[in-house]
Structure 1
Amino acid sequence: MTSEPITPAGPPDEKAARIVDLAQRRADRAAAAQGLSAADAADAETVAPEPVLVGEVVDPPDRRPDLSELLDRRGGPVLPLWLTDPGQRRDMLRRAVNSAGYHVGTHLALSPVYAGKVAWYAPKGAARLVGQVLGWTSAETGNWHLRQDAANRNDPKTWLDLDRHRMRQASWRWWVTGAGTLTAGTGGLVLASDLTPWWVKVPVLAAGLVGLARHGRPLDKPILARTVVRPVYRKLTAELTRKGIMATGLVKRPEDIVFPAGVGEIRRDGPGYLAIVDLPDGVIAVDVVEKRELLAGGLRLPVDQVWPEVMPREHPSRLALWVADRPVSAMKQPPWPLLRGGQTDYFKPFVYGFDPRMRPVDYRMDERNSLFAGFPGSGKSLSARVVMAGMALDPLVQFAVFDLAGRGDFDAFEPLCPPDLFGSGADEGTKQAAYQMLMWLLKECDVRGPRIKHYATQGLNSENKLNRAIAAKDARLRPVVAAIDEVQELITDPEIGKSSAAAMTSIIKRGRALGIHLVLMTQRIDKESLPKGVTSNIANRTCLAVPSHVEVDLALGTGAYRQGAQPTRFEVGVDSGWGVRVGYGPMVSARAAYLDRAAIEKICARGVALRGGTAAAVDMPTARDILDDLRAVWVADERGQHWEVLTTRLADRFPDAYSSLTPDALSALVRGKKVECSRQVKVKGANRSGLYLDNLTKALAERDSTPD
């Protein structure tokens, strides 16, 4: 196939004509190849590309903005952020006052040392000053090296010429020195007389002595001591930011790191500096977050002072780098806003803690559940207690608390719990009580739905969900916060573990819209202790200090570590309460507000006062025996039965106790009673796992014959 030659461009009209003619000839050839006539080709729908001249740009230049657009464009803020933000303004004022107080106090403490130095160096300074004045007056210091050179060469003529030049200079300098001496003497007499008040004499005399002392001291021995200690932080600059990012090895050229206009200016942000940068193509912010240690090494700072973050709702290559003034773990947190007074609302957010920049971080309870996971000493109980303390200040909230560690971390909440809904201990009785609490919550899920629907039809809510208006109208529908510490002890229990996990899964799914909020805490982060059905349906998940990314993804969700969640950086025992939270707003690193035991007790006392006394008893489901219930639903003439059938019968006969029971959970419950089960039970030609009646009867007989 031959191509049409392109002739050099001529005048504009001729050039356009040649382009049109060329396009027409190509269209005719294409029509002929398809078997179309010229007329048919003209009627056919075609999309012809715009003609482009060789050597010209394809993309047209950007349109220039008109005057109205230019006038509407706004730059950054007129005033610095620390002047417009009250929190930062207070922080800057506090820093200035503290710095001034430190300097003044240091100099006052060292004033006796300064007085001694002035007394020692002032005479030396006076003698040095007199010698320098006499040397200048006599002009001896002017050309002495030239006169010395003439004397060394035995050149008297030159020496005499130079000496006459010296005497001419000295002739008028003696008059200047004499006038100055007379003036200084007169001033001294006036200063020493009774005409001058003491408040003038003292400053002038002090200034004169200090001046003489400075003139007489050695250059390497200043009179005033240094009060400015080298800061433990380095002020963040563009050059330093680029140096730190390049230390990660992800960027090769510093000019590839761009500070976007309007947002990329390095500015003061809380107790540190914030820089927002755009990384080069192919590098995303998560890559830098993963190399935080290398970034801190490039900045020559401790890792605890360097906080790279992914910016939500921005392109993945935009990085926010915040550098603290000092290690964040050493900073003092602001006090919890609700520590001295105030109330909360279950249906509204409240302050949970503070992020590295010491900004408050909110927490929300309604339509959610909570999980706190981390190794021992990471601060799980401390963090969860803040959430529960916040709910203690809402008089509508009911509590159910079971501390399966038995350390007493939650004893202060006992007055807020009904009699049967509090337990503390690692014994079997406490675990059974916690299991009964789950059965009570399942029952609540069954009865709350129709009641909420009834009030919603009356106009108290546009959706069939619990809100404050409904909860305030009907005491039976008040929100419930149920906390279980060391929940893995319940989930991994050989007897009630699977049934408990199934109940939790059902409560988490159904109860969130009904005003039931589970708060689970665990130090064992694996698939056995945290089943996927439990974790995947919990919204508020906080992962505290853990050793690897495996635990991070199990606690926060698959891919959380890759998205920038790195609680592996927190040190157990040092960074207690620090964690990465997801589920409410963007993923954030936050430290729970510090509330010690005494503070928790005072907050719980306020909660009891808001409720008008301790909590009343609730209607707990009757404790049942699984072996008796199996015997009750067993059909006559059955030699054996499968778990699926038995589970359905129990749920139909005793819905309050077994509505969420699964075949696996029933099998675990029966095995926990030391009953022999079978993997092959033949019923109506089907062989599946189940239970034989003889084994059930034998277990009942042994139980009845065993004395209590």
Structure 2
Amino acid sequence: MALRNPQVSFRLGRLKRRGRALVGLYRLPPGESFASLQEKERELASALGEQVQITQTAWPGCVEIARFPALPRTVSLSDALPVIRKANEFSWCLGEGVQGPVLVPLREYPHLLVAGATGGGKTNALKVIAETLKVQRPDATVVIADLKGGYDYKPLLDTVDEVIRDLDRLHVWMQQLVTTLTEREQEAWERGTTHFTPCVTLIDEFATVTSTANSKVDKETAEMAKAILAMVNTILQKGRSLGLHLVIATQRPDAETIPGTLRANMDALLTFHVTTQVQSGVVLGPGHNEAFELPPIPGRALVSLGGSWNRCRYFDGSVDITSIFNIRRRRSWALRSASRSGASVDAWMMKLPPGPSSAFLARRNSRPTSRGGSCTSRMVN
């Protein structure tokens, strides 16, 4: 099988499946190189109607081209949990890519920036990140700071260690983190180890901190916000190898909201659709409009790791998270029943199913059985 277009022609060998991708070995025609073919990667993807990835091989004059199917419209976190649990390292769960769940080790990418316009899926992404971190390491400390009031994260109170709702408490928590950083630096020096229990802090709508720091109305609060920014910068710079990790989320990923000193220490990025090319350039780098060109589909995102990026689809909000932690048997049973019926369920806000009425129990207990006794009801705890 051969593929031809006006600029490049090459022969396709036997296809093999690798995950969700179809992979084939191609022999380059005379005059073509790996670099020149990579420049035509977007053109090839457009011709095939699929995402394409070109990699070098050990065979001279040959490249490997992987063809990936389109991203699914909906993705369930419950389907990805087996892969997440088997992860070799403590990892960020950054959605579902064309090759499966996107798991990024915190050891390599200790801090994460989440950006995107309103309604793109940032809040759901932070929920999934926090919950999957706890699935992997129940002993890890996971704290969410939501300066919009914390209402979106109230259902996670039984999962995460704390939900911070105001600037004062965030200031106190950041002071605790800096103290922990100093203690761990001393312990690493004395014991020669950097293996510490992970502590992850997720800050939603970080623009609230930066805008407050620039405010001229309340000088006391502004000074507090400036102190928070300084401590965030300290954690980003020194917490990498000491088990202290930050996730910063914002709707406005511009230079005023995310200063360059902070952005320089965040190599991992999860971005949803942004509204301007300038914001895309701030997030991905000058001249890169990929975040702006993303379709404004809730949950559709771009993952950037050290400058390379891949598209992904984030998990749906209707996920049976409660059954992961076995918090309440009745709620888990209700979610499984709703899932079998095909209903869309909010795993956290759904009310528990009502128990049987007293009239029903009276009728059931008075009904004779084949053995001459009466039926007894069994209550589910």
Q: Do the structures match in fold with TM over 0.5?
A: yes
Question: What is the CA-CA distance between 1:344 and the residue it aligns to?
Answer: 7.2
User: Compared with structure 1, are the counterparts of its residues 532 and 322 closer, same or farther at alpha carbon in structure 2 (3 Å cutoff)?
Assistant: same
After TM superposition, the structure 1 = structure 2 runs for residues 624-635 of structure 1, keeping only pairs within 5 Å, are none
TM-score (norm 1): 0.39
Task: Quote the residue 2:199 is aligned against.
Answer: 480
1-structure distance, mates of 2:40, 2:277: 15
User: Compared with structure 1, are the counterparts of its residues 311 and 382 closer, same or farther at alpha carbon in structure 2 (3 Å cutoff)?
Assistant: farther
2-structure distance, mates of 1:414, 1:503: 25
Task: Quote the residue 1:372 is aligned against.
Answer: 114
- What amino acid is aligned across from residue 444 of structure 1 in structure 2? T
* Residues 121, 299 of structure 2: 8 Å contact kept: yes
2-structure distance, mates of 1:538, 1:348: 17
**Counterpart of 1:512 in 2: which secondary structure?**
coil
Question: What is the CA-CA distance between 1:370 and the residue it aligns to?
Answer: 1.2
User: Compared with structure 1, are the counterparts of its residues 412 and 448 closer, same or farther at alpha carbon in structure 2 (3 Å cutoff)?
Assistant: farther
Q: Does 1:499 align with 2:227?
A: yes
Higher percent of residues as strand? 2
User: Compared with structure 1, are the counterparts of its residues 375 and 540 closer, same or farther at alpha carbon in structure 2 (3 Å cutoff)?
Assistant: same
Task: Quote the residue 2:267 is aligned against.
Answer: 539
- What amino acid is aligned across from residue 591 of structure 1 in structure 2? R
Q: Which of the numbers 90, 98, 101 marks the counterpart of 1:360?
A: 101
Task: Quote the residue 2:336 is aligned against.
Answer: none
2-structure distance, mates of 1:408, 1:321: 43
Task: Quote the residue 2:352 is aligned against.
Answer: none
* Residues 145, 163 of structure 2: 8 Å contact kept: yes
- What amino acid is aligned across from residue 146 of structure 2 in structure 1? D
Question: What is the CA-CA distance between 1:535 and the residue it aligns to?
Answer: 1.3
**Counterpart of 1:524 in 2: which secondary structure?**
coil
Higher percent of residues as helix? 1
Q: Does 1:590 align with 2:312?
A: yes
Task: Quote the residue 2:142 is aligned against.
Answer: 399
Question: What is the CA-CA distance between 1:527 and the residue it aligns to?
Answer: 0.3
1-structure distance, mates of 2:242, 2:122: 26
Task: Quote the residue 2:183 is aligned against.
Answer: 447
2-structure distance, mates of 1:583, 1:287: 22
Question: What is the CA-CA distance between 1:538 and the residue it aligns to?
Answer: 1.5
**Counterpart of 1:503 in 2: which secondary structure?**
helix
CA RMSD of aligned residues (A): 3.8
Question: What is the CA-CA distance between 1:341 and the residue it aligns to?
Answer: 10
User: Compared with structure 1, are the counterparts of its residues 378 and 318 closer, same or farther at alpha carbon in structure 2 (3 Å cutoff)?
Assistant: farther
Task: Quote the residue 2:369 is aligned against.
Answer: none
* Residues 291, 302 of structure 2: 8 Å contact kept: yes
2-structure distance, mates of 1:274, 1:334: 26
- What amino acid is aligned across from residue 238 of structure 1 in structure 2? A
Question: What is the CA-CA distance between 1:352 and the residue it aligns to?
Answer: 4.6
User: Compared with structure 1, are the counterparts of its residues 548 and 268 closer, same or farther at alpha carbon in structure 2 (3 Å cutoff)?
Assistant: farther
1-structure distance, mates of 2:238, 2:57: 31
Task: Quote the residue 1:408 is aligned against.
Answer: 151
Q: Does 1:383 align with 2:128?
A: no
Question: What is the CA-CA distance between 1:534 and the residue it aligns to?
Answer: 0.9
CA deviation string 1:172-214 (max 9, x = no partner): xxxxxxxxxxxxxxxxxxxxxxxxxxxxxxxxxxxxxxxxxxx
- What amino acid is aligned across from residue 207 of structure 2 in structure 1? Q
**Counterpart of 1:411 in 2: which secondary structure?**
helix
User: Compared with structure 1, are the counterparts of its residues 287 and 489 closer, same or farther at alpha carbon in structure 2 (3 Å cutoff)?
Assistant: farther
* Residues 114, 270 of structure 2: 8 Å contact kept: yes
2-structure distance, mates of 1:312, 1:587: 18
CA deviation string 1:117-136 (max 9, x = no partner): xxxxxxxxxxxxxxxxxxxx
Question: What is the CA-CA distance between 1:401 and the residue it aligns to?
Answer: 1.2
Question: What is the CA-CA distance between 1:582 and the residue it aligns to?
Answer: 0.7
- What amino acid is aligned across from residue 188 of structure 2 in structure 1? I
Over alpha carbons, which structure has the higher Rg?
1
Question: What is the CA-CA distance between 1:505 and the residue it aligns to?
Answer: 1.1
* Residues 144, 160 of structure 2: 8 Å contact kept: yes
Q: Does 1:579 align with 2:302?
A: yes
User: Compared with structure 1, are the counterparts of its residues 571 and 349 closer, same or farther at alpha carbon in structure 2 (3 Å cutoff)?
Assistant: same
Task: Quote the residue 1:566 is aligned against.
Answer: 290
2-structure distance, mates of 1:517, 1:529: 19
2-structure distance, mates of 1:407, 1:372: 17
* Residues 285, 318 of structure 1: 8 Å contact kept: no
CA deviation string 1:626-647 (max 9, x = no partner): xxxxxxxxxxxxxxxxxxxxxx
After TM superposition, the structure 1 = structure 2 runs for residues 174-189 of structure 1, keeping only pairs within 5 Å, are none
Question: What is the CA-CA distance between 1:480 and the residue it aligns to?
Answer: 1.0
Q: Does 1:283 align with 2:36?
A: yes
1-structure distance, mates of 2:68, 2:41: 14
Task: Quote the residue 1:656 is aligned against.
Answer: none
* Residues 311, 319 of structure 1: 8 Å contact kept: yes
Q: Does 1:434 align with 2:162?
A: no
Q: Which of the numbers 51, 73, 85 marks the counterpart of 1:307?
A: 51
CA deviation string 1:237-278 (max 9, x = no partner): 534xx24xx4xxxx2xxxx42247xxx544555556445655
- What amino acid is aligned across from residue 450 of structure 1 in structure 2? Q
**Counterpart of 1:513 in 2: which secondary structure?**
coil
CA deviation string 1:603-653 (max 9, x = no partner): 4666xxxxxxxxxxxxxxxxxxxxxxxxxxxxxxxxxxxxxxxxxxxxxxx
- What amino acid is aligned across from residue 590 of structure 1 in structure 2? C
* Residues 270, 301 of structure 2: 8 Å contact kept: no
- What amino acid is aligned across from residue 519 of structure 1 in structure 2? V
* Residues 488, 524 of structure 1: 8 Å contact kept: yes
* Residues 174, 231 of structure 2: 8 Å contact kept: yes
* Residues 153, 163 of structure 2: 8 Å contact kept: no
Q: Which of the numbers 579, 586, 599 marks the counterpart of 2:320?
A: 599
User: Compared with structure 1, are the counterparts of its residues 437 and 526 closer, same or farther at alpha carbon in structure 2 (3 Å cutoff)?
Assistant: same
- % same residue: 18
After TM superposition, the structure 1 = structure 2 runs for residues 8-47 of structure 1, keeping only pairs within 5 Å, are none
* Residues 2, 9 of structure 2: 8 Å contact kept: no
Number of residue-to-residue matches in the alignment: 311
Question: What is the CA-CA distance between 1:482 and the residue it aligns to?
Answer: 0.6
Question: What is the CA-CA distance between 1:354 and the residue it aligns to?
Answer: 2.6
* Residues 392, 603 of structure 1: 8 Å contact kept: no
CA deviation string 1:668-693 (max 9, x = no partner): xxxxxxxxxxxxxxxxxxxxxxxxxx
After TM superposition, the structure 1 = structure 2 runs for residues 39-118 of structure 1, keeping only pairs within 5 Å, are none
Unaligned 5+ runs, structure 2: 216-221, 328-381
1-structure distance, mates of 2:40, 2:291: 16
Question: What is the CA-CA distance between 1:443 and the residue it aligns to?
Answer: 1.9
- What amino acid is aligned across from residue 408 of structure 1 in structure 2? Y
User: Compared with structure 1, are the counterparts of its residues 446 and 331 closer, same or farther at alpha carbon in structure 2 (3 Å cutoff)?
Assistant: closer
2-structure distance, mates of 1:363, 1:546: 23
2-structure distance, mates of 1:343, 1:432: 39
Q: Which of the numbers 163, 170, 176 marks the counterpart of 1:422?
A: 163
* Residues 94, 103 of structure 2: 8 Å contact kept: yes
Task: Quote the residue 1:238 is aligned against.
Answer: 2
1-structure distance, mates of 2:144, 2:282: 24
2-structure distance, mates of 1:417, 1:350: 15
2-structure distance, mates of 1:600, 1:516: 25
Question: What is the CA-CA distance between 1:524 and the residue it aligns to?
Answer: 0.6
TM-score (norm 2): 0.67
2-structure distance, mates of 1:257, 1:547: 38
CA deviation string 1:470-490 (max 9, x = no partner): x4xxxxxx3211111111111
2-structure distance, mates of 1:556, 1:485: 20
Higher relative contact order (CA 8 A, sep 6+): 2
